[in-house]
Structure 1
Amino acid sequence: MSTDLHWSKSSYSDGEGECLEAALTPTTIHIRDSKRLTDPAPRTLRLTPTTWSTFLKSL
């Protein structure tokens, strides 16, 4: 599933691999922690665009 996604890092990333990455689809925002990618089963947070927008507005 997540292997077919196009992951993007923040422009604020420090280059050390410790940042959040996001992959966008029309129905889901996928978020992962890049430093955890070596885990046997890296976890991905999946949000609806509405939930993501609400989260960003709250910052």
Structure 2
Amino acid sequence: MMTDIAWIKSSYSASQSNCVEAGALGGCVAVQDSKDPGRSFLRLPERAWREFVTGVKAEGPPV
């Protein structure tokens, strides 16, 4: 599935190989593993993505 998404790499991943990228996709947010961009991606509602990012900023990443 080829979709024209402008991917943005996580700022926390800049110097590491464990990277995620996110991009806008018609009212949703697409999330992919930047090491393997040819594979599928997750599609999340914008609200769910905002809540996830807010939680990570407040509490740190899930363990």
Q: In structure 1, what is the equivalent of residue 60 of structure 2?
A: none
Q: In structure 2, what is the equivalent of residue 3 of structure 1?
A: 3
Structure 1 stretches of at least 4 aligned residues deviating more than 6 Å after TM superposition: none
Percent identity over paired residues? 35
Normalising by structure 1, what TM-score? 0.69
Unmatched tracts of structure 1, length 5 or more: none
Q: Deviations over 1:23-46 (max 9, x none)?
A: 1135010000011235xxx02011
- 1:50 is the counterpart of 2:47: yes
Q: In structure 1, what is the equivalent of residue 15 of structure 2?
A: 14
Report the aligned-residue RMSD: 2.2
How many residues align structurally? 55
Normalising by structure 2, what TM-score? 0.66
